[in-house]
Amino acid sequence: MALAKPPKKHVFLFYCAECEELACKVAALSDSITLQTIKWRTFDDGFPNIYINNAQDLRGNHVAFLASFSHPGAIFEQISVIYNLPRLFAASFTLVLPFFPTGSFERMEEEGDVATAFTMARILSNIPISRGGPTSVVIYDIHALQERFYFGDNVLPLFETGIPLLKQRLHQLPDADNVVIAFPDDGAWKRFHKQLDHFPVVICTKVREDDKRIVRIKEGSPAGRHVVIVDDLVQSGGTLIECQKVLAAHGAANVSAYVTHGVFPKQSWERFLHKNGMETAFSYFWITDSCPHTVKAIANKAPFEVLSLAGSIADALKI
């Protein structure tokens, strides 16, 4: 006798203000996801004055929240909501945090260094349980692999990746059969090579010469190929630019780049625009919409293209 299919999971999806566009895309992809709204207000002293609309309707239903911790000031008000939603008698609670931002620069080299990534993981690990049990935390391409072990047993981290979006886009290129994947360092290779193992590979490395860090090719050949540099995130973009120069010097026909998280503080994305004689530096620069501020800033600006996480997020919410 065949097992009966479980009833379709319907999710009420809340979101922070800057994730509204991504949340709408997620909801548009599934009739089992309904958007819900929050009034993000402040008191005169600047502290949050938040109201969750339709809170009574959440009882016995699956609830999710799409977050963006784009700057420290945005975290507190969202954490306040994240801690409150599971307590409204929700059947389950899922937190979608596409970009886990803390820790990308951390180096624990001496006593006194503070591990903010560990602190953030502890904060998220203490989200109250819902009626259905621990919170599911969905994160894409976390920067340091060891950070996945920072989370406690009170939450269920689900680590996803944007690489399938890149692979889909690469197959659409006119020179798809001539693509080589380049990793800017061993860390990027360890993080992504198993997902891209059917492509030829170039591995770069950074070496120190006097006070400078020089990028060199450690393995593989880019000659005559369309080389796509792959990493999890970009900040200033200096490493990507140095990689592009080395790959071009070794005969790459074209160079493109992909990062899951286009952080680009201080508008550093401007150095990649097709202007000021850089038309041929990067043919394409793909990012996802994990950092909403960047997506708005680079809209319709070559060589940037946005590969949306909406479909992947919608699938994760069905679990």
Tally of domains within the chain: 2
Domain housing 197: 163-288
pLDDT at 68: 98
Judge whether residue 10 has pLDDT over 60: yes
Q: Does 298 map to a domain?
A: no
Judge whether residue 289 has pLDDT over 80: yes
**How many CA atoms lie less than 13 Å away from 276 in the CB half-sphere?**
4
Same domain, 227 and 118: no
pLDDT at 103: 63
C-alpha span between 307 and 287 (Å, rounded): 6
Judge whether residue 2 has pLDDT over 70: no
Same domain, 151 and 176: no
Same domain, 69 and 24: yes
Same domain, 168 and 109: no
**Domain CATH code at residue 206:** 3.40.50.2020
Range 248-267 average pLDDT: 97
Q: What are 155-203's pLDDT values in tens digits? A: 999 999 999 999 999 999 999 999 999 999 999 999 999 999 999 999 9
Q: What are 64-115's pLDDT values in tens digits? A: 999 999 989 899 999 999 999 999 999 999 999 999 997 655 565 678 888 7
pLDDT at 116: 86
Q: What are 12-56's pLDDT values in tens digits? A: 999 999 999 999 999 999 999 999 999 999 999 999 999 999 999
Which residues, at least 6 apart from 178, have a Cβ–Cβ distance to it below 8 Å? 224, 225, 226, 253
Range 2-21 average pLDDT: 85
Range 118-137 average pLDDT: 94
pLDDT at 182: 98
Q: Does 66 map to a domain?
A: yes
Q: Does 222 map to a domain?
A: yes
pLDDT at 275: 75
pTM, 2 dp: 0.92
pLDDT at 7: 67
pLDDT at 157: 93
Same domain, 173 and 156: no
